[in-house]
Amino acid sequence: MPHKTFDIIQRKRGWDGYFKLDVYRLQHDKFDGGKSAILQREILERGHAVAVLPYDPVRDEVILIEQFRPGTLSVQERYPDMPVWLIEIVAGIIEDGETAENVALRETIEEAGCKIIAPLEKISQYYVTPGCSSETVTMFYGRVDASKVGGIHGLDEEGEDIRVFTVSAEECFAMLQNGQLCNATTTIAIQWLMLNRDRIRKEAGI
């Protein structure tokens, strides 16, 4: 397969608020050896995120969180069965000067009220919606002690209202299979746990 190239003809900032929107005019190589037409594409510069799967291999429990998500509102108008409060894993945006690992440790405390008690294990790094956004997610597994986890967490200054709860691994797998976990990040994390749970528990001496 020959090396493919692209040309950015113009890039300008269309919106510069909390989220940033860049407007590109570009052209790229095609698989048939030609060039595409000059395309205009709007790209949301969302930033880069970190997600953490908090799992207690001793208790065989997953920590999940539930919170209101405004991006669901227009979806529910068309698909009333889709929820507005989503069940998720811990996640947050990487701020200037932070590493992905720093964010994982910080967000687990802020959102779930517990600490990572062993070295993080990287699960994956992936694009979220590459057709219209530059956002990536770096995902980790973090070992936790789930024995005292629960309650309401989050930062008031960020408007967070997060319910924290634990479920057994088997119950979590059932939630995925019956459609309760309807966001991609959580789906990826729980599918990874399905594949790696036995190894993780064995490494923890279980």
Q: What type of residue is 18? A: Y
Q: What is the DSSP letter of 59?
A: T
Q: Among all chains, which residue has been given the structure tokens 């992936």?
A: 126
Beta bridge partners of 86: 67
Q: What is the DSSP letter of 72?
A: G
Beta strands 49-56 and 136-143, pairing class:
parallel
Angle at alpha carbon of residue 68, lines to 47 and 74, rounded to 5°: 80
Active site residue 158: yes
| Surface-to-core class of residue 136, CB atoms within 10 Å of its CB (0-12 exposed, 13-18 middle, 19+ buried) | middle
Backbone angles phi, psi at 56, to 5 degrees: -105, 105
Determine which one of 88, 107, 110, 158 is catalytic.
158
Distance of CA 39 to the CA centre of its chain: 29
The encoded tokens of residue 143 equal 């070992």
Query: Does residue 113 sit in helix, strand or coil?
Result: coil
Q: Using alpha carbons, select from 25, 33, 26, 24 the residue that is nearest to residue 4.
A: 33
List active site positions: 158
